[in-house]
């Protein structure tokens, strides 16, 4: 696991370095699925002296649009974004949470209007404010037939809850079919649980990136990230640059992935 401190500058030398990084990344080595935790939005707002952390959340949302464009341009097929956890819903200040909910709803609408990207809500809709739940439903429905970059929005999400929900779905389906307890135990396999996750039918993430220097999962894709590679960037979310992203992809391409070892 590496933490990189981003270098300063976005002039000619920055563009030259960015081009060099792109040349070092072979198309065949690009991850299929990238998961992303854009962390540090609140710290960013406080460091810049804003009176409301909502400024940080808005800057983080703008960075997400940039990040997805970078992924799309590089040929990544699936991106999962950690936007709002179950813990956030319980613990955040009500005014701060209200701002965040509005920003995520706007982001979902912007994503649905962005070319051929397909939006999928990964999380529990119950417990979300109706305005946000509706925005996520509409974005998902509006983009259902799109064939471009697949964007999972982890909202009202918790990895442990996801596993519990998957097992519950398996039990309900088994009960409806009239199966026995013994048959249920026999059929409860990792593959069966994987099929009933919020991301069922999708490949697990090859690479998980987190900004702000924090080195933890925070209950994000607990099941799916069992064999993922991890990359930590010290830059706060809104300060993430394309070269930071390209370094992460280059680093991933150089790793010798040893599943289970």
Q: What contacts 117, CB < 8 A, 6 or more positions away?
A: 68, 72, 111, 143, 146, 148, 149, 150, 151
User: Would residue 152 show up in a list of annotated catalytic residues for this protein?
Assistant: no
Q: Which one is catalytic: 39, 72, 204, 244?
A: 39
**Euclidean distance between CA atoms 88 and 39, whole angstroms:** 13
**Euclidean distance between CA atoms 226 and 205, whole angstroms:** 9
Distances (CA, A) of 105 to 55, 146, 158, 224, 243: 16, 20, 19, 25, 28
User: Would residue 39 show up in a list of annotated catalytic residues for this protein?
Assistant: yes
Question: Do 241 and 217 meet the contact criterion of CB atoms below 8 Å apart?
Answer: no
**Euclidean distance between CA atoms 63 and 3, whole angstroms:** 20
CA–CA–CA angle 185, 186, 189 (5° rounding)? 90
Q: Which one is catalytic: 41, 72, 86, 88?
A: 88
**Euclidean distance between CA atoms 88 and 158, whole angstroms:** 10
Question: Do 39 and 214 meet the contact criterion of CB atoms below 8 Å apart?
Answer: yes
CA–CA–CA angle 211, 60, 240 (5° rounding)? 45
* 207's tokens: 């690479």
Helix (H, G, I), strand (E, B) or coil at 31: coil
Which positions are catalytic? 39, 88
């Amino acid at each position: 696991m590496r933490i990189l401190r981003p270098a300063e500058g976005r002039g000619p030398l920055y563009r030259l370095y960015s081009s060099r990084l792109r040349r070092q990344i072979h198309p065949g080595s690009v991850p299929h699925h990238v998961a992303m935790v854009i962390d540090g939005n609140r710290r960013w707002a406080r460091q810049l002296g804003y009176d409301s952390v909502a400024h940080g959340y808005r800057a983080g949302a703008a960075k997400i649009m940039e990040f997805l464009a970078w992924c799309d341009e590089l040929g990544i097929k699936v991106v999962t974004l950690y936007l709002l956890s179950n813990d956030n819903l319980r613990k955040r200040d009500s005014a701060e949470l209200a701002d965040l909910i509005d920003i995520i709803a706007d982001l979902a609408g912007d994503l649905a209007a962005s070319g051929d990207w397909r939006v999928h809500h990964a999380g529990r809709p119950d417990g979300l404010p109706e305005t946000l739940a509706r925005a996520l439903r509409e974005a998902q429905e509006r983009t259902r037939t799109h064939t471009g970059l697949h964007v999972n929005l982890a909202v009202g999400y918790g990895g442990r809850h996801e596993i519990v929900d998957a097992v519950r779905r398996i039990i309900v389906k088994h009960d409806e079919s009239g199966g026995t307890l013994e048959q249920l135990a026999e059929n409860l396999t990792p593959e069966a649980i994987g099929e009933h996750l919020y991301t069922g039918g999708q490949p697990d993430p090859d690479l998980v990136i987190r900004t702000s220097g924090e080195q933890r999962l925070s209950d994000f894709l607990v099941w799916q990230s069992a064999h993922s590679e991890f990359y930590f960037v010290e830059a706060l979310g809104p300060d993430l640059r394309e070269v930071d992203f390209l370094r992460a992809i280059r680093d991933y391409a150089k790793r010798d992935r040893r599943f289970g070892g």
